[in-house]
Amino acid sequence: MTQSKHNVVIFLGPPGAGKGTQAERLAQDKGLVKISTGDILRDHVVRGTDLGQQVKPILDAGTLVPDEILIALIRDKLADMEHVRVIFDGFPRTTAQAQALDMLLEELGAPVSAVPLLEVPDEVLVGRIVERGRQAAARGEAVRSDDTEEVARRRQQVYREQTQPLIDYYSGRGHLYRVDGVGGLDEVYGRIQTGMK
Ligand code: ADP
């Protein structure tokens, strides 16, 4: 297996920045697997698994699920892969998770390729999340229980305290680039692609 077969992209940015949407498009264009830890956890909640029952109150509160749980989840996901061609959306979220991911990737011989950081001003973020909840409700779709204004604000605070330190972690390793996340979906996607070259 040659290293060029691997491709590891990590999307960083606050809740509501548009990571999931942009990561999905990039995954399709580049033939990568999107790993969204929020989606995985919500799926466990919907299915009512032991893990789902354990994490539901944490998701509802907008705080972080323990690192050990996330690290074990990601370890399992990567273990099945012949080539590590992935986009992480929502992981890592703490320094401990980033360090564990580095160790896992080193074992697999798959270094981090790029870390786009989607930047959106604070005052825009909570509005986007609450609007997303409203639109889902208007379409008759399930609304995320954490897409209320109060929990969205809590998630921003958790991001600032626990995830923002990763900006220094990855810029120190030379992988990080900043992307202006305000604008249309195509516009932002174009910026992500430009930064990746
Ligand atoms: P957002 O980025 O909009 O907050 P996510 O779908 O990424 O949404 O995450 C939803 C929730 O899932 C988080 O608030 C947290 O409780 C949990 N979660 C997701 N990823 C992680 C992670 N890497 N570490 C800890 N908790 C996580």
The two three-digit tokens of residue 135, written as one number: 């639109």
Q: Whose CA is nearest to atom 6 of ligand 1?
A: 38
CA proximity to 7, closest of 112, 104, 92, 126? 112
Tens digits of pLDDT across the chain (197 residues)? 444 589 999 999 999 999 999 999 999 999 999 999 999 999 999 999 999 999 999 999 999 999 999 999 999 999 978 899 999 999 999 999 999 999 999 999 999 999 999 999 988 999 999 998 899 999 999 888 999 999 999 999 999 999 999 999 999 999 999 999 999 999 999 999 999 97
Q: In the chain, what are the domains? A: 7-186 (3.40.50.300)
CA distances 73 to 80, 87, 104, 157, 173, Å, are 12, 15, 12, 24, 25
Distance 52 CA to ligand 1 centre (A): 13
**Cα 107 to ligand 1 centre (Å):** 25
Tell me what pLDDT residue 4 has.
57
